Every structure is written in C-alpha cells, then in structure tokens.
Amino acid sequence: MSDDHPLATVETLALVALGGFAGANARFVVDGALGPFGFGLAGTLAANVCGCLLLGFVLYEEVYVGVFSRQLRVAVGTGFLSSFTTYSTFAVQTFEAGTDSLALVLGNVGANYALGFAGVLLGRWLALSFAAEVDA
C-alpha cells in the first residue's frame, strides 16, 4: 500500500493514537512512582530525559541503520514519546516551584535541558552502536 493511499493515512492515525495511549499511561506510571520526590518535578524530569534518549535513538536509527519501519517510527516517535514527554507540565511545575525557590527553578530548567540533550546524544550513540553491530 502506498503512503498516499487513504488507508495508509488511517493506519498512521491509528498508530499515533495507540502510541499516544501507551505513552500517556507510561507517563502516569512514572509520575506515580516518582511523584513523592522533588515537588512532582522528578517524574517529569525522568520522562523528559528518557523520552529524549528514545527519540534520539529512533531518529538516528533511521539515519544510520534504517531497520525500523516508518510505521514503528511514527508509533514510537509521534505517538508514544509525544504523550510520554511534556513541555507544558515542565513549564507549569517549574513556575509553581518558583514560588518556593529560584535555585529550584534554575536547577529544574538546567537539568531538563542538559539531561535532555545528553539523552539525545546517548540515543545517537546507541543508534551508531546498533549500526555497527548490523554492519558487522
């Protein structure tokens, strides 16, 4: 089936919906597990960093290896990870933490961005390692 076939669009929408459902539920579990730590910031930080790592891997896997199907990348990247990670929760929690401590705000912003970028780099490294294994 070609990508411009109407059923391909329905398939893509279904994959995004299923991935989104799974990602939202995974996020709920992470928040529940880490919620008692760090004013609720810990769950969001963990989800955002893990999401950056996974998205970095998925995107660089496409560049270096290309084993994953387009459908898998859509389901994981657009569906699962877009529901698992969240900028809006990060922004609201950071704003709310600001009423307690400027240091907490700066630490949370710095941790989300620094660890998020590190996650992407680690995902890229994993994709390159995976590519080396496939080529071997």
Q: What tens digit of pLDDT does each residue of 9-38 get?
A: 899 999 999 999 999 999 999 989 997 776
Residue 76 has pLDDT above 90, yes or no: yes
CA distances from 71 to 5, 81, 93, 123, 128 (A): 14, 14, 33, 19, 21
Distance CA 58, CA 76 (A): 8
Domain ranges of the chain: 6-135
Q: What is the pLDDT of residues 31-52, one digit of tens each?
A: 899 977 766 789 999 999 999 9
Look up residue 39 and give its DSSP letter. Answer: G
Residue 110 has pLDDT above 70, yes or no: yes
Phi-psi region of 2 (alpha: psi -120 to 50; beta: other; left: phi over 0): beta
Q: At what angle do helices 87-98 and 41-64 cross, to 10 degrees?
A: 150
Distance CA 131, CA 136 (A): 9
